[in-house]
Amino acid sequence: MAEVISQRRVDQRRLITPEGIDLQVQLADIGARIGAYVIDQIIINVGLIAAFFIIIFGGISAGPEVAITVFILINFFVRNFYYMFFEMGPKAATPGKRMSKIRVASRTQARLTANAVFARNAMREIEINLPLSFLFTSGDSVDGWISLLGLLWSGIFLFFPLFNKDRLRAGDLIAGTWVVRAPKPILAIDLASEKADLDSAYVFTPEQVEAYGVHELHVLENVIRANEQQTVMDVAERIRNKIDWSKGMSEVDLDFLKAYYAALRGRLETRLLFGVRRKDKFDKT
């Protein structure tokens, strides 16, 4: 099992994966999360307005009742599955989150599961949409005590991320997720520029390269990008032991990881051309 350990910086956490890899993640700030939410809501509402006009002027001849029913169904599916659809993707982020350079990640394991995404978004109606409906309800049409309870409910859920150290929504707490920063990766450029020199210094056998799969490739990419000295040393030592590699006197751990990353990526891409995709080190395909 993975475990989360507090780190030196207030907004930084250490995630220990099942492979024993120490990954550094930085929590997304509240401003970025609010910005992402606003962008996503603009996209959703623009889409719903477009759907409304298409329904009205698109020739639904069964009558206004049917048109309203169709719009309500579209509204329901868009608001409930917009976030799930994008967060279940490879980027684990909606368009708003991608523009704000943040993403959803698992707090307890390296991979974000569909169950976790479903759980965090199933709570969104209770956490956000319902409180906002209370806040914008006219006081003349609702009993005063109900309005007060609505405001208290709104305050609890809307400000919940401000009162816990990991900035978790209630949905994140239930799903075992958090929202972290996702800066634009620069690893591919670095590897491309250094690959020729590394190829001549490190030559791996097919058996050594095939020790890992796609999952470990992604983990290794994160380790190289973070470039934490102790983590790089630990991971390099684990890989050497795994593939039975003897470290040379002048061998640099980071260069070794970059060379192995390039070799592993090239091998996996070659196998993929023939329809073979190895998910992780336990996959025997």
DSSP assignments along 20-83, one per residue: --EEEEEBPPHHHHHHHHHHHHHHHHHHHHHHHHHHHHTT-TT-HHHHHHHHHHHHHHHHHHHH
Strand residues in 135-273 grouped as ranges (E) = 177-181
User: How many angstroms from the chain centroid is the CA of residue 12?
Assistant: 16
Determine phi and psi for 5, rounding to 5 degrees.
-125, 140
Q: Compute CA distances 236 → 18, 220, 228, 254, whole Å.
A: 16, 10, 12, 8
Residues in the chain: 285
Cα-Cα-Cα-Cα dihedral sign, residues 154, 155, 156, 160: positive
**What is the value of pTM for the model shown?**
0.59
Quick one: pLDDT band at residue 92, thresholds 50, 70, 90?
A: confident
Give 129-184 pLDDT, tens digit per residue. 666 666 665 455 556 676 677 677 777 877 888 888 888 888 888 888 888 887 65
Residue 182 in contact with residue 101, Cβ under 8 Å?
yes
Q: Is the predicted pLDDT of residue 253 greater than 80, yes or no?
A: yes
pLDDT at residue 196, rounded to an integer: 46
